[in-house]
Chain A
Amino acid sequence: MAWRDGPLVRWLDVRLLFTWPAAVVAATVVGLPLMFQAARAAIANVDPTLEQAARTLGSTELEILWRVTLPLARRGLLAGLALGATRALGEFGATLMVAGNIPGRTQTLPLAIYDAVQNRHYGDAEYMVLLVTSLGFLSLWWVRRLEQSGRPVSEPRTRQRLPRDDSPALESAP
């Protein structure tokens, strides 16, 4: 005998399947790793001396997080959010699986494009593709701007130059 409802439903009464929150979960799951990477880099980039300074000025660790670390990592956090959102914009498979494809309720742009192509409404599909693409470009442009204007705030990191494969040092003697 098969269980019709899983433990989430039976114990917690969480019914997500085929609702718009399910689409949000799917989008979050695919966007999170990108967001996380950018956020981690931004927080690691905050000069630890500033946190030390806050410590000598009487701040608790929580205050340091709110008043120093997060404000200084703000641009990086926003950039990460935008990257994650951009990635989520193209999410297709997981959304179809957990949220279904219910027009007006759980249909996302990529699913609508899929439907349009299936139904040979190529005009509609093209407009939607254009929309998704420009949203993506817009978001990436904004990320780039955030990252550029954020540079003077934190010290520029010296980039280490790795020797190139074709550098003379690596050539073997004949």
Chain B
Amino acid sequence: MSTADGPRLQVDVEKQMEGFYLAVQLEADTEVLVLFGASGSGKSSTLDAVAGLQHPDVGHIRLDGECYFRRPRPPATGPRCNLPARERGMGYVFQNYALFPHLTAEDNVAFALRRHPARQRRAGELLERMGLSSLGGRYPRELSGGQQQRVAIARALAPGPRVLLLDEPFSALDLALKARLQGDLLALQRELGLVVLYVTHNLDDAFAIGDRLAVIQEGRVRQVGSVEDVSRHPVDEHVAGIVGVRNLFRARVTGSTTEGLFLDWDGTPLETPQPLPPSSVPPEITAYIHPEDVKIIYPGVPLMEAVRHNLVEGHVVGHRRRGGGHLLLTHLSNGHEIEVAFQDYAYADLSLEPGQTVQLSLRRDAITTLSPHH
């Protein structure tokens, strides 16, 4: 299906929204592209523009070389096109499923197959593919959330779309169910060779399903890349904040050598092994360290090489369980707070009650600096 010239789906749209200006450029191939951002950032509007439910002011949307939308920016001229939503043939899975309540599951799936010669059979096949073959006669209100979501996916796939758009599809489901549905969706995407745009504000969703991640903020794409890449190397502090990077801080740069960078974080000296080119050393820099890379020092035990640097004292102010481990909130001597994450089995013999004083090491090789935000 892929055409010779570039990615299959090309989106470059602008629209004046209420409160912000949407200006999004995206490209997607046969893959799952996650549109990630807070609510109101413009990711759902982007999805609606692709589906034809909203019309951009200017820009273009192309799929496999066909023009779905094109309106040149005023001084420029050229052919225009704007395919109505019903002719775009894109599968859309809505946030709250949007199943027709007056139709059975089977009739919901068959809704788009009105002129299909074997509509009942095709609907039955799709329901079976989604593991719902015995529930075709039920009305949406008689189905669980997960079953409704499966019907919604089957309905969107019924007309055989090339693109599947999902708007926060699994946000109302419990974790185990969500993981299973995400697995199913991924298998379908590979099997049918779909271009999938998946809107979410949940980073775990993005990790579970995304081939690539596009971070959207205030109507603009801030960064596109593999999910690991974006979360590990956010391009600036905004993206870092959006993808949920913890322990962001700003520090003064006190020195820069080939060995690395020396920082002063409000009185706490820190060093990182990331050298900067001498010409571009800013006076201040934003950096972060993942909570997993903050280590607690056992008092009176010789320090290992990895934790010999970046020592700072603090006291515990909070403690909660997270997944299979703990998250400790500590108040540092320099007035800032930092999160420390560790596994269940670690530090079992240390008292980490609130108020307790602890020695921390911010692993030298784990402090990551961000390029200054313009």
CB distance from B341 to the nearest CB of A (A): 39
For the complex, what is the distance from the CA of A72 to the CA of B98, rounded to whole Å?
13
CB 8 Å contact bits of A41-60 with B (1 = contact, 0 = none): 00000010110111111111
DSSP majority for the A interface? helix
Instruction: Contact check, B92 vs A56: say whether CB atoms are below 8 A apart.
Output: yes
Instruction: Contact check, A71 vs B86: say whether CB atoms are below 8 A apart.
Output: no
Contact of B98 among A53, A63, A152 (CB under 8 A): A53
Check A53/B92 contact, CB under 8 A, given A59-B86, A60-B86, A71-B102.
yes
Please name all residues of chain B whose beta carbon is closer than 8 Å to the beta carbon of A53 when the two chains form the complex: 92, 94, 98, 100
Please name all residues of chain A whose beta carbon is closer than 8 Å to the beta carbon of B53 when the two chains form the complex: 52, 55-56
CB 8 Å contact bits of B84-107 with A (1 = contact, 0 = none): 111111111010101011100000
Instruction: Contact check, A152 vs B100: say whether CB atoms are below 8 A apart.
Output: no
| Interface residue? A68 (CB, 8 A) | yes
Please name all residues of chain A whose beta carbon is closer than 8 Å to the beta carbon of B96 when the two chains form the complex: 49
For the complex, what is the distance from the CA of A70 to the CA of B88, rounded to whole Å?
25
Instruction: Contact check, B85 vs A55: say whether CB atoms are below 8 A apart.
Output: yes
Instruction: Contact check, A152 vs B141: say whether CB atoms are below 8 A apart.
Output: yes
For the complex, what is the distance from the CA of A140 to the CA of B91, rounded to whole Å?
43
For the complex, what is the distance from the CA of A154 to the CA of B159, rounded to whole Å?
26
Please name all residues of chain B whose beta carbon is closer than 8 Å to the beta carbon of A68 when the two chains form the complex: 100
Please name all residues of chain A whose beta carbon is closer than 8 Å to the beta carbon of B162 when the two chains form the complex: none
Instruction: Contact check, A49 vs B111: say whether CB atoms are below 8 A apart.
Output: no
CB distance from A84 to the nearest CB of B (A): 23
Q: Please classify how large the interface on chain A is, using the bins under 10, 10 to 19, 20 to 34, 35 or more.
A: 20 to 34
Please name all residues of chain A whose beta carbon is closer than 8 Å to the beta carbon of B156 when the two chains form the complex: 56-57
CB distance from B160 to the nearest CB of A (A): 11
| Interface residue? A153 (CB, 8 A) | yes
**Contacting residues of chain B (28-54) with chain A, CB-CB under 8 angstroms:** 51-53
Instruction: Contact check, A49 vs B98: say whether CB atoms are below 8 A apart.
Output: yes
How many chain B residues have a CB neighbour from A under 8 Å?
26
Among the interface residues B87, B88, B102, which one has the most CB atoms of the partner chain A within 10 A? B102
Instruction: Contact check, B100 vs A50: say whether CB atoms are below 8 A apart.
Output: yes
CB distance from B150 to the nearest CB of A (A): 16
Please name all residues of chain A whose beta carbon is closer than 8 Å to the beta carbon of B84 when the two chains form the complex: 55
| Interface residue? B112 (CB, 8 A) | yes
**Contacting residues of chain B (81-135) with chain A, CB-CB under 8 angstroms:** 84-92, 94, 96, 98, 100-102, 111-112, 114
Please name all residues of chain B whose beta carbon is closer than 8 Å to the beta carbon of A58 when the two chains form the complex: 86-87, 89, 112, 159
Instruction: Contact check, A47 vs B98: say whether CB atoms are below 8 A apart.
Output: yes
CB distance from A114 to the nearest CB of B (A): 45
Instruction: Contact check, A153 vs B102: say whether CB atoms are below 8 A apart.
Output: yes
For the complex, what is the distance from the CA of A53 to the CA of B91, rounded to whole Å?
9
Please name all residues of chain B whose beta carbon is closer than 8 Å to the beta carbon of A47 when the two chains form the complex: 98
Among the interface residues B52, B53, B87, which one has the most CB atoms of the partner chain A within 10 A? B53
CB 8 Å contact bits of A7-38 with B (1 = contact, 0 = none): 00000000000000000000000000000000
Instruction: Contact check, A72 vs B155: say whether CB atoms are below 8 A apart.
Output: no
Please name all residues of chain A whose beta carbon is closer than 8 Å to the beta carbon of B87 when the two chains form the complex: 58
Q: List 15 A-B contacts (CB under 8 A).
A: A47-B98, A49-B96, A49-B98, A52-B85, A55-B84, A55-B86, A56-B52, A56-B53, A57-B155, A58-B87, A58-B89, A59-B111, A59-B112, A71-B102, A152-B141
In the A-B complex, the 10 residue pairs with the smallest Cβ-Cβ separation, listed nearest first, are A57-B112, A56-B92, A55-B85, A53-B98, A49-B98, A58-B86, A71-B102, A153-B101, A58-B112, A52-B53
13 extra interface residue pairs, beta carbon distance < 8 Å, beyond A56-B88, A68-B100: A50-B101, A52-B85, A54-B111, A55-B85, A56-B51, A56-B85, A57-B111, A58-B87, A58-B112, A59-B86, A67-B111, A72-B102, A74-B102
